[in-house]
């Protein structure tokens, strides 16, 4: 991408700039140290003063008191005439000669004489030579005092630390600039994750990235509008079809009931009418499930919250099956733990009754040769300390097909489509036939999830094993409720 190349180019340019700045500042620092610690100019001025204090007394050359004061700190001094003869000396070593050739003068004038650092000053036709103590001055092109040379190691470390700090300062400054450029992009990505629309300024080194994010946001907004329009059309279609089917279905079921009660119908005709009536009831329940799942899917079904005893509710559901003529090949057993009996929880009793009836009804409908349904109710606590009411339903029938379990897991709450189906693309006849019927279990799962619960299909060697977990965060016992009143 061009934007990435631009960012890389800016960073390379920044690194080159930092390097150049550090080099320039180091050069300036070296020059300052040279000027501050260099002794040549200061020494030359002092030696010129000493030369002026050497006077010709007629009998020879003598040094004034002021000159002796100026010589304090120096090791020795002598004065040469134009022929290189020593015409005046001060504390010179005994082994120094009394005459120096031009070659000797050229050798020591800028460097050393017998390991003594030497400073020279021309006074008329004469040459003043002043020697400093051995190992007091380091001379190489320029002259530095030995205290400075002894400090050079610590100064070098200080310079390194200063360079490191300077580089960090530059990096912080440019990093802060880059952070300020990236911060709107990070905020935009977070907003996109929240499905919010964004519009970032498309300038600077991140301008192209901002442009791409803006384009992505616009594309997502268009897709969102298409999905919302499709979902609205789907909901309206379901509501309309359900309404249109309900009236003729009621007439079919009503006439079937009337004909079943007629005395002139033989056994075979009544059997056929019974099938018509039962299939009409199934269609009615399917329509109700379709409407309910659509409302739950788009949060259009209000929860009528009220307190109730879950153990008492389950007994009523089981009893209603027996009172409505449960066939002898089916048995329903319910067992609630003692601690569950007094518990009160909050929820929509009508929806939860529908969910539990669907689960029991599934076991009965899919096991025509009969089965036993065992229902248990207990409590548990998860790792976070959250309490749950656990209702487990098992039967010893044919179990739940694997494709039904997979279809239930793949069902997407936001789209109502199987995973992998393209939005807006109709199913083929083959796909429609092969897709498992999961409406009943899907409705149960939606009801449980709408109550903040969990729906689990567990592996079983035989039959079905389903667990429904409802939160106990708002649970109360009957005794606590009485105390509060």
Higher pLDDT, 293 or 370: 370
What pLDDT does 36 receive? Answer: 62
- Residues in CB range of 358: below 8 A, 6 or more apart: 289, 440, 441, 443, 444
Q: Are residues 286 and 348 in the same domain?
A: no
In 213-276, beta strands by DSSP E: none
pLDDT at 329: 94
Question: By the 8 A CB rule, do 205 and 6 touch?
Answer: yes
One domain for residues 316 and 378: yes
Higher pLDDT, 439 or 186: 186
Whether 446 is covered by a domain: the verdict is yes
Per-residue pLDDT reduced to its tens digit, 149-205: 777 778 878 878 887 788 778 777 777 777 787 788 888 888 888 888 888 888 876
Over residues 298-302, mean pLDDT: 64
> Quick check: is 325 in a domain?
yes
Average pLDDT over residues 245-262: 82
Q: What confidence score (pLDDT) does residue 96 get?
A: 93
Q: Determine, yes or no, domain membership for 190.
A: no
* Residue given tokens 């003692």 in the structure block: 338
pLDDT per residue as tens digits for the range 78-131:
999 999 999 999 999 999 999 999 998 988 887 889 989 998 999 888 999 999
Rounded to whole angstroms, the Cα distance separating 64 from 56 reads: 11
**CB burial string 254-272: b at 16+ within 10 A, e below:** eebeebeeeeeeeeeeeee
Domain assignment present for residue 250? The answer is: yes
Share of the chain above pLDDT 90, in %: 25
CATH of the domain at 293: 1.10.287
User: The CATH number of the domain where 455 resides is what?
Assistant: 3.30.565.10
258 and 118 part of one domain: no
What is the mean predicted confidence (pLDDT) over 381-407?
89
Helix crossing, 207-261 with 146-193: angle to 10°? 30
Q: What is the pLDDT of residues 319-347, one digit of tens each?
A: 999 998 899 999 999 999 989 999 999 98
The mean of the pLDDT values for the chain is: 80
Domain span including residue 280: 197-301
Whole-angstrom distance, CA of residue 150 vs CA of residue 156: 11
Is pTM, for the whole model, over 0.75? Answer: no
CB 471 within 8 A of CB 453: yes
Q: Which pLDDT band, with edges at 50, 70 and 90, does 435 fall under?
A: very low
Give the pairing type, strands 465-471 and 454-457.
antiparallel
Final residue of a domain: which of 261, 284, 301?
A: 301
Q: Are residues 475 and 452 in the same domain?
A: yes
Number of domains in the chain: 4
């Amino acid at each position: 991408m061009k934007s990435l190349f631009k960012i890389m180019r800016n960073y390379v340019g920044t690194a080159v700039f930092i390097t150049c700045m550090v080099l320039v500042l180091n050069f300036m620092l070296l020059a300052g140290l040279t000027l501050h610690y260099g002794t040549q100019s200061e020494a030359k001025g002092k030696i010129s003063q000493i030369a002026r204090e050497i006077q010709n007394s007629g009998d020879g050359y003598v040094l004034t008191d002021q000159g002796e004061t100026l010589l304090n700190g120096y090791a020795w001094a002598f004065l040469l005439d134009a022929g290189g003869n020593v015409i005046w000396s001060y504390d010179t070593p005994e082994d120094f000669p009394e005459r120096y050739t031009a070659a000797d003068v050229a050798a020591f004038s800028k460097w050393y004489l017998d390991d003594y650092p030497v400073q020279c000053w021309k006074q008329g036709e004469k040459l003043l030579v002043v020697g400093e103590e051995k190992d007091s001055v380091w001379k190489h092109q320029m002259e530095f005092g030995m205290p400075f040379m002894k400090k050079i190691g610590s100064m070098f470390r200080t310079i390194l630390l200063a360079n490191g700090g300077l580089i960090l300062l530059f990096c912080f400054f440019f990093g802060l600039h880059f952070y300020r450029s990236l911060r709107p992009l990070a905020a935009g990505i977070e907003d996109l994750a929240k499905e919010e629309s964004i519009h970032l300024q498309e300038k600077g080194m991140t301008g192209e990235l901002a442009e791409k994010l803006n384009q992505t946001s616009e594309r997502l907004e268009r897709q969102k509008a298409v999905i919302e329009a499709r979902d609205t059309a789907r909901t309206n279609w379901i509501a309309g079809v359900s309404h249109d089917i309900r009236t003729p279905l009621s007439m079919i079921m009503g006439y079937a009931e009337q004909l079943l009660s007629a005395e002139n119908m033989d056994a075979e005709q009544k059997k056929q009418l019974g099938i018509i009536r039962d299939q009409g009831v199934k269609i009615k329940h399917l329509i109700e499930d379709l409407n309910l799942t659509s409302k739950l899917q788009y949060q259009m079904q209000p929860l009528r919250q009220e307190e109730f005893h879950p153990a008492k509710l389950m007994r009523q559901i089981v009893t209603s099956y027996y009172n409505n003529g449960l066939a002898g090949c089916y048995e329903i057993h319910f067992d609630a733990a003692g601690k569950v009996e007094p518990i009160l929880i909050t929820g929509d009793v009508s929806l939860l009754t529908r969910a539990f009836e669907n689960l029991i009804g599934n076991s009965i409908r899919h096991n025509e040769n009969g089965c036993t349904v065992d229902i248990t109710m207990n409590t548990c606590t998860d790792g976070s300390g959250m309490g749950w009411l656990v209702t487990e339903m098992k039967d010893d029938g044919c179990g739940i097909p694997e494709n039904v379990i997979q279809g239930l897991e793949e069902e997407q709450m936001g789209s109502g489509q199987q995973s992998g189906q393209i939005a807006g693309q109709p199913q083929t006849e083959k796909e429609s036939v092969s897709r498992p019927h999961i409406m009943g279990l899907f409705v149960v799962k939606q009801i449980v999830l709408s109550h903040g619960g969990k729906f689990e299909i567990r592996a079983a060697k035989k039959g079905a094993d389903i667990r429904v977990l409802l939160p106990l965060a708002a649970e109360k016992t009957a005794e606590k409720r009485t105390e509060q009143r």
